[in-house]
Amino acid sequence: DTAVSQTPKYLVTQMGNDKSIKCEQNLGHDTMYWYKQDSKKFLKIMFSYNNKELIINETVPNRFSPKSPDKAHLNLHINSLELGDSAVYFCASSLTGGRGYEQYFGPGTRLTVT
Amino acid sequence: QKEVEQDPGPLSVPEGAIVSLNCTYSNSAFQYFMWYRQYSRKGPELLMYTYSSGNKEDGRFTAQVDKSSKYISLFIRDSQPSDSATYLCAMSAGAGGTSYGKLTFGQGTILTVHP
């Protein structure tokens, strides 16, 4: 039973390309997040959606565009990929009602830009 | 200066040792304090959470929060090789609006427990 799943698990691409990462959760949560973890393991929030509405939008280049078609899905599209975009991207989900700290993370998508 | 500071280690201890992991923070608005555990090539998983100051115990794990010092700790008793992972502290101001669910993480401490 996969709680939070991401596809693809690995993504190797060249600079300048456009790519998408998909996330799905079957926990019945209504809030979903994208995080970026750099090579030093530093995990930083990028976006969050609650019931398809954008809630958190950190200082992220506008080459990154999240989309939430419904409560269970959150995608991340990245345009014009740069070397510095290489990282592990994690999707997470949680419930509202005071449980936002209890986030369930997916397995991550390891993006390598060459 | 980062909002949350955590010594990345690495920390290596023998099996059975007591492990102490710590974080300091600068944002006095933080009210929720969490510890996440991340095994290699996996996503983080919530280990413990504490609201405001105080202690919380769960089996071999004890979380402490001292808001006056802006300092939180995680203690692992009788450490096991299966505890080998990266431990991330995380904090949140809670409430609603644009702060809801916004976790600020420390860099993580890499822990190895050897048999």
Q: Does B75 touch chain A (CB under 8 A)?
A: no
Is the pLDDT at B79 greater than 90? The verdict is yes
Distance CA B74, CA B72 (A): 7
- The answer to whether A104 and A6 are in contact (CB under 8 A) is no
Categorize the per-residue pLDDT at B45 as very low, low, confident or very high, splitting at 50, 70 and 90: very high
**pLDDT attached to residue A75:** 96
Q: Which residue has the tokens 């190797």?
A: A12
Is the pLDDT at B41 greater than 80? The verdict is yes
Is the pLDDT at B49 greater than 60? The verdict is yes
A3 interaction partners in chain B (CB closer than 8 Å): none
Is the pLDDT at A79 greater than 60? The verdict is yes
Distances in whole angstroms, Cα of residue B54 to Cα of each of A48, B30, B49, B64: 29, 14, 11, 6
What is the least distance, in Å, from the CA of A7 to any CA of chain B?
Answer: 14
- The answer to whether A74 and A30 are in contact (CB under 8 A) is no
pLDDT tens digits, one per residue of A3-31:
999 999 999 999 999 999 999 999 999 89
Determine what percent of chain A is predicted with pLDDT higher than 90.
Answer: 76
Q: Among residues 52-111 of chain A, which lie with CB inside 8 Å of chain B?
A: 55-56, 90, 92, 94, 96, 98, 100-108
- Give the H or E element holding residue B58: strand B54-58
Q: CB neighbours (10 Å) of residue B17?
A: 16
- Per-residue pLDDT, averaged over B32-51, amounts to 93
**pLDDT attached to residue B52:** 85
DSSP string over A26-59: -S--SEEEEEEE-TT--EEEEEEEETTEEEEE-S
Which of A64, A59, A72, A75 minimizes the C-alpha distance to A31?
Answer: A72
Partner residue facing B45 (CB), from A50, A94, A105 = A105
Is the pLDDT at B97 greater than 60? The verdict is no
**pLDDT attached to residue B53:** 85
What the block records as the tokens of B83 is 């505890």
Distance CA A102, CA B48 (A): 9
- The answer to whether B19 and B75 are in contact (CB under 8 A) is yes
Is the pLDDT at B96 greater than 70? The verdict is no
